[in-house]
């Protein structure tokens, strides 16, 4: 359904119009956007039936915009608006906590038209003097700028990784390429990466560099040489390709995977052993003889360490563990037997129950849970009881069609302000999987509210436990240690949500939770088939960064055991 897509464009147009000082139009666009969000029917169907004017707030003018978008994927007026407002000002609008009204005031009263100017003005306390701004607004804006800047400087792994993979796939087709690997923070599965690092071994780098620097997605070539080339991609991220002699591949892969802190610690161990470690290899200090270098395993072995998985290479104790051969055996994507968090067209998902089940069965899962939003999520079409029961019939039908996968009835139920859940126990009782999630009212401390939700006997797990969204929202206030203890005591699971901007719990939180004895789930929170297929990888990566093993992750259990553990 394109309903939400169009609503988003209308909101954006309203903001742009408001900044330009147009009077009534923004309100009209917003009203139509709200109606589109509330509309349960597919907008394309409504348009086909010529019933767009029945949508509250949609007159002839806005109906024609909708039709234009459905036909061409664009709205001409929006394109013109975007061109008419300086790009820097539209950037200002993306700072969390700033809306068009404030941006307009900032521009008109203080001449602020860029994020840099805004940060300067806020630091000099120039904003508090403006009408409608106070001390608190100023602090919020400064925090918003920090969020915005991290979001600009680094690209989410979930966005950058497909770009890197597609480059690797095309380079790999060249005969000259022997080995090829992604290194850097991307290989370590960091939530966001500064650039894309690719390593290649070859005797003939010329043609490889030619292919790399002339890829269609390359915006600019910053450097081109026989050992290293650097480009900027259209998506706005830098990518490096380094060509390395085969005998150095392991050492180079180790070096360029990092992290820097891990490397420094490793180099110190090498020195103590009378070796010299570089990206070219591990060498005997006295004789200069090569000790290791063609494989990473060889390098770690000669340093007296067991092999350290890339996700653990953050100098957070992994080296001591490797010395004592005490490293945990990390969970892998292949260990995952089911996915417990996904949305369908019943709430804000793009695909039907049947489509999600088809895709999950193709992934080879033993079980999944369909978990649409509860009624409090109005904008996301939260599902009220009657529709929930209708969905159960659809699930039963899909279950009959796909006997190879168990389709569990679930819900992502909002935790209300008082910690009670958005469905009565009578409904919760009938669900196989209940995810309790905090979406609204995030400005208060949420600890007590969450503890109360975990106390509900029908709750299976806590969804995205901190609410953090990269570049958009900080964690809400919550005492995670108390949550870990409560979850542990009540036998509830905490989620590692694989949505790239969430990966919530984070890597460090995963490790704390495991130390507190909590069991976790890794889910995609998919809103489409594509997300169902892709996001498990990021969830598993985050869990691996938190040193999770299969015993820590309940959805590695085979169906029978899993059903037992979720039974109340």
**Residue 437 touching Zn ion (CB under 5 A):** yes
How many other C-beta atoms are found inside a 10 Å radius of the C-beta of residue 400? 9
CA distance 266 to 315: 9
Contacts of 398 (CB under 8 A, 6+ apart): 353, 354, 357, 407
Taking the complex as a whole, how short is the minimal distance between the CB of residue 260 and ligand DGT, in angstroms?
4
Q: Which of 78, 76, 34, 101 is nearest to 93 (CA)?
A: 101
184 vs 250, beta carbon nearer Ca ion: 184
**Residue 524 touching Zn ion (CB under 5 A):** no
Binding-site partner at residue 259 among ligand DGT, Ca ion, Zn ion, none, CB < 5 to 8 Å by type:
ligand DGT
Among 249, 256, 275, 547, binds ligand DGT (CB under 6 A): 256
**Residue 506 touching Zn ion (CB under 5 A):** no
Binding-site partner at residue 258 among ligand DGT, Ca ion, Zn ion, none, CB < 5 to 8 Å by type:
ligand DGT
The footprint of ligand DGT on residues 190-229 (CB under 6 A) is 190, 193-195, 197
Q: Which of 532, 545, 548 is nearest to 494 (CA)?
A: 548
Span from 108-116, 165-173, 183-191, 489-497 in contact with ligand DGT (CB under 6 A): 183-191
**Residue 238 touching ligand DGT (CB under 6 A):** no
222 vs 490, beta carbon nearer Ca ion: 222
CA distance 459 to 464: 14
Total residues binding ligand DGT (CB under 6 A): 14
Span from 17-25, 96-104, 185-193, 431-439 in contact with Zn ion (CB under 5 A): 431-439
Check residue 473 and give left, alpha or beta (phi > 0: left; psi -120 to 50: alpha).
beta
**Residue 314 touching Ca ion (CB under 5 A):** no
Q: What is the DSSP string of 304-354?
A: T-PPPPGGGTTTSSHHHHHHTT----B--GGG--EE--B--TTTT-SS-HH
**Residue 476 touching ligand DGT (CB under 6 A):** no
Taking the complex as a whole, how short is the minimal distance between the CB of residue 420 and Ca ion, in angstroms?
46
Binding mask 31-70 for Zn ion (x = CB under 5 A): ----------------------------------------
Taking the complex as a whole, how short is the minimal distance between the CB of residue 186 and ligand DGT, in angstroms?
7
CA distance 204 to 227: 10
Contacts of 433 (CB under 8 A, 6+ apart): 340, 369, 371, 408, 409, 410, 411, 460, 461, 566
The footprint of Ca ion on residues 165-184 (CB under 5 A) is 184
13, 81 contact by CB (below 8 A): yes
183 vs 526, beta carbon nearer Zn ion: 526
Phi, psi of 155 (to 5 degrees): -110, 140
**Residue 263 touching ligand DGT (CB under 6 A):** yes
293 vs 382, beta carbon nearer Zn ion: 382
Among 80, 260, 393, 560, binds ligand DGT (CB under 6 A): 260
408, 432 contact by CB (below 8 A): yes
Instruction: Give the 3-state secondary structure of residue 556.
Output: helix
CA distance 289 to 436: 59
66 vs 196, beta carbon nearer Ca ion: 196
Taking the complex as a whole, how short is the minimal distance between the CB of residue 371 and Zn ion, in angstroms?
9
Span from 213-221, 432-440, 484-492, 560-568 in contact with Zn ion (CB under 5 A): 432-440
**Three-state secondary structure along 391-430?**
HHHHHHHHHHHCCCCEEEEEEEEEECCCCCECCCHHHHCC
The footprint of ligand DGT on residues 292-351 (CB under 6 A) is none
Beta strand 179-182 with 406-414: parallel, antiparallel or unpaired?
A: unpaired
Burial group, residue 473, by CB count within 10 angstroms (0-12, 13-18, 19+)? middle
Among 96, 205, 250, 258, binds ligand DGT (CB under 6 A): 258
Taking the complex as a whole, how short is the minimal distance between the CB of residue 55 and Zn ion, in angstroms?
27
Angle between helix axes 157-172 and 529-545 (nearest 10 degrees) is 100
Q: What does DSSP assign to residue 382?
A: P
**Residue 195 touching Ca ion (CB under 5 A):** yes
Binding residues for Ca ion, per CB under 5 A?
Answer: 184-185, 195, 197
Binding residues for ligand DGT, per CB under 6 A?
Answer: 184-185, 190, 193-195, 197, 255-256, 258-260, 263-264
Binding residues for Zn ion, per CB under 5 A?
Answer: 437
């Amino acid at each position: 359904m394109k309903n939400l897509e169009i609503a988003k464009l209308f909101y954006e147009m309203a903001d742009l119009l408001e900044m330009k000082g147009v009077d009534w139009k923004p309100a009209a666009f917003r009203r139509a956007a709200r109606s589109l969000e509330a509309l349960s029917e597919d907008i394309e169907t409504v348009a086909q039936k010529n019933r767009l004017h029945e949508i509250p707030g949609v007159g002839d003018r806005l109906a024609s915009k909708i039709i234009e978008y459905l036909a061409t994927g664009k709205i001409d007026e929006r394109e013109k608006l975007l061109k008419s407002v300086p790009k820097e000002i539209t950037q200002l609008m993306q700072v969390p906590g700033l809306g068009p009204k404030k941006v307009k005031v900032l521009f008109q009263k203080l001449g602020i038209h860029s994020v840099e100017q805004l940060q300067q003005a806020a630091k000099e306390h120039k904003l508090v003097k403006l009408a409608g701004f106070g001390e608190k607004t100023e602090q919020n804006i400064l925090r918003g700028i920090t969020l915005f800047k991290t979001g600009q400087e680094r690209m989410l792994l979930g966005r950058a990784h497909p770009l890197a993979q597609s480059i690797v796939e095309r380079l790999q087709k060249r005969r000259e390429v022997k080995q090829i690997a992604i290194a850097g923070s991307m290989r370590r599965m960091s939530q966001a990466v500064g650039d894309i690092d690719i390593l290649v071994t070859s005797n003939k780098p010329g043609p490889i560099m030619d292919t790399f620097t002339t890829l269609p997605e390359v915006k600019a070539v910053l450097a081109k040489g026989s050992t290293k080339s650097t480009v900027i991609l259209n998506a706005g991220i830098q990518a490096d390709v380094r060509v390395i002699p085969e005998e150095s591949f392991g050492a180079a892969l180790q070096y360029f995977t990092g992290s820097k802190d891990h490397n420094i610690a490793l180099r110190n161990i090498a020195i103590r052993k009378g070796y010299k470690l570089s990206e070219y290899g591990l060498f005997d200090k006295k004789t200069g003889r090569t000790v290791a270098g063609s494989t990473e395993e060889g390098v770690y072995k000669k340093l007296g360490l067991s092999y350290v998985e890339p996700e653990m290479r953050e100098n957070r104790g992994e080296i001591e563990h490797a010395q004592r051969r005490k490293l945990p055996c990390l969970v892998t994507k292949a260990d995952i037997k089911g996915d417990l968090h996904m949305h369908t067209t019943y709430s804000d998902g793009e695909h039907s129950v049947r489509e999600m089940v088809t895709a999950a069965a193709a992934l080879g899962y033993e079980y999944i849970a369909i978990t649409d939003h509860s009624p409090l999520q109005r904008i996301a079409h939260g599902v009220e009881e009657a529709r929930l029961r209708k969905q159960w019939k659809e699930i039963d039908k899909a279950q009959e069609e796909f006997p190879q996968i168990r389709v569990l009835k679930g819900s992502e139920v909002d935790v209300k302000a008082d910690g009670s859940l958005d469905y009565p126990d009578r409904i919760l009782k009938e669900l196989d999987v209940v995810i309790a999630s905090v979406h609204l009212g995030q400005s208060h401390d949420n600890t007590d509210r969450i503890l109360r939700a975990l106390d509900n006997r029908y709750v299976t797990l806590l969804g995205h436990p901190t609410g953090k969204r990269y570049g958009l929202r900080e964690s809400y206030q919550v005492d995670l240690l108390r949550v870990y203890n409560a979850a542990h005591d009540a036998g509830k699971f905490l989620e590692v949500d694989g949505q790239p901007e969430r990966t919530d719990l984070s890597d460090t939180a995963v490790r704390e939770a495991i130390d507190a004895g909590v069991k976790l789930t890794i889910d995609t929170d998919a809103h489409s088939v594509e997300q169902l297929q892709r996001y498990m990888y990021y969830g598993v990566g985050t869990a691996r960064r938190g040193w999770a093993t299969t015993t820590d992750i309940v959805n590695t259990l085979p169906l029978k055991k899993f059903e037992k553990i979720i039974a109340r």
